[in-house]
Structure 1
Amino acid sequence: MQTIGLIGGMSWESTALYYKLINERVRDRMGKLHSAPLLIYSYDFEVIKQMQYAGRWSEAAASLAEVARRLEGAGARAIVLCTNTMHKLAPDIISSVTVPFIHLGDATAQRIRAKGYRRVGLLGTKFTMEEDFYIDRLRAHDLDVLVPPTEARADVNRIIYEELCLGIVADPSRRRYQDVMAALVAAGAECIILGCTEITMMVGPDDTTVETFDTTAIHAETAADFAMG
């Protein structure tokens, strides 16, 4: 198997899911005591959050690129960035290494297109829902992307940072997400992208009337498949 380098800690809650899901897929496919060869760099997420909200993206880009180089130097044969939002800086990571970068947006879009969907509802951080870096990546796969209105986006973002990233899963927040997804479906969404790696901790297929696409699981499965060749 090939070694995968994981850039995690954003948050560690979702990085733990990556570790679990990658190894479960390898075990299920290969049997016996097989597990994935992984290198993990885990950030102090508070530092990254401060960079995000202060708009210090060039500083964050330099940091992520350096971590990617270190993982490659340690033997990683592919890089996986365990967060949707920081894919804003994917070009900086890609240009800093010679090994493949497994892009979460591409993996998700390919899975959706394989199911025959075209119009998708997107949940994520405010950066993911409001900026072009993620939506344009989905559009490149011929997907039409719907996002919640302003107030709903604010609620979705707040719940991610103030609750889910701290491991808090609250019923009122689950109901709010259910309402937001219902509104997206009413607006024409054929499926819902759970476009933040923490969202899967709280909502899933039973919380909406359409199919959901868990980016954490999709990305982890894609990484595991790469490791196994």
Structure 2
Amino acid sequence: MKTIGIIGGMSWESSAVYYRLINQEIGRRLGGHYSAKLVLSSANFEEFSQWQKADDWQAIETAVDDMAQGLVRAGADCVVIACNTQHEVAGGVTERLPVPLIHIADVTAEAIQKADFRTVGLLGTRFTMERQFFRGRLKDRFGIDVILPDAEDQTYVHQKIYDEFSKGIFRESTRNRFISIIEKLAGQGAEGVILGCTEIPMLVQAVHTDVPLFDTTTLHAMAAVEFSLI
């Protein structure tokens, strides 16, 4: 079994989900008392939040790179950034890594292709929705078109991620608004919707809507399991 390296803490709420999902899946597949070989480097999310507000992506890349290299020194055979937004710096980090970085957009795109979809909606932080590191990668590498919420809905989604989800707050009223946004995207032609923030699946699951959802947290965690068992 290979060792999975996780860059977490952004936020720790979803990092805990990664840890649980990976270990549960290893146990399910192998039985007995099997659990994952895993090392975790957990960030102080306040630092990253301030760098994001200052648009200081160089500071973020330096911090993520340091964490990734630390995981490798600790024995990691791959690296997983347990946060969609921080994949903005994945390109530079990957260039310096001696082990694979499992990109969250790639595993999501593979699931979309498996569903035979060509157009999907995307929910996430405003960085994930506005910048090209996620939706541009889906289009350029996989030919998948991405529909975004309107400006008002984008602002709402972004604020709830930072003001509620990253603090462990999940309200029914927020879920209802998210479901409305998801269904609006479907009405605009999205065949499914990407939950492109690792906290969103803690609020909205498939039982809440008939629109197909792509849970990036679970997809990413399962890709890490696949790598570890190759």
Q: What amino acid maps onto 1:220 in structure 2?
A: A
Q: Distance in 2 between matches of 1:201 and 1:172?
A: 14
Give the deviation of 1:77 after TM superposition. 0.5
Superposed counterparts of 1:79-228, under 5 Å = 79-139=79-139, 140-228=141-229
CA contact (8 A) 1:123 1:129 kept: yes
* CA distance in 1 between partners of 2:19 and 2:11 (Å): 13
**Taking structure 2 as the reference length, what is the TM-score of the superposition?**
0.98
Matched AA of 2:121? G
CA distance in 2, matches of 1:116, 1:197: 23
Amino acid at match of 2:126: K
* Identity of matched residues, %: 42
State the match for 2:44 in structure 1. Answer: 44
Q: How many residues align?
A: 229
Deviations 1:64-85, CA, capped at 9 Å, x for gaps: 1111111111111000000000
**TM-score (ref. length: structure 1):** 0.98
Q: Distance in 1 between matches of 2:207 and 2:5?
A: 33
Q: Secondary structure at the match of 1:92?
A: helix
**Residue 182 (structure 1) shift:** 1.1
Counterpart residue number, 2:10: 10
> What CA distance in whole angstroms lies between the structure 1 residues aligned with 2:204 and 2:51?
28
Q: Name stretches of at least 5 consecutive residues in structure 1 with no aligned partner.
A: none
Partner of residue 64, structure 1? 64
Unaligned 5+ segments in structure 2 are none
1:68 and 1:96 in contact (8 A); partners too: no
Task: Determine helix, strand or coil for the equivalent of 2:213.
Answer: strand
Conserved 8 A contact 1:9-1:42: yes
Q: Does the Cα contact within 8 Å between 1:4 and 1:37 map onto a contact in 2?
A: yes
CA distance in 2, matches of 1:149, 1:206: 24
Partners of 2:120 and 2:36 lie apart in 1 by 32
SS of equivalent to 1:210: coil
Kept in 1: contact 2:182–2:211 (CA 8 A): no
Aligned pairs (5 A) from 1:24-35: 24-35=24-35
Quote the Cα distance in structure 1 between the aligned partners of 2:203 and 2:62.
32
- Inter-partner Cα distance in structure 1 for 2:201 and 2:132: 23
> Any idea what the Cα deviations from partners look like across 1:186-208, whole Å, max 9, x if unmatched?
00000011000000110011222
Residue 96 of structure 1, CA deviation: 1.9
Name the Cα RMSD after superposition: 0.7
The letter for the 2-side match of 1:115 is A
Aligned residue for 1:95, secondary structure, equals: helix
The separation in 2 between residues aligned to 1:199 and 1:27, in whole angstroms, is 25
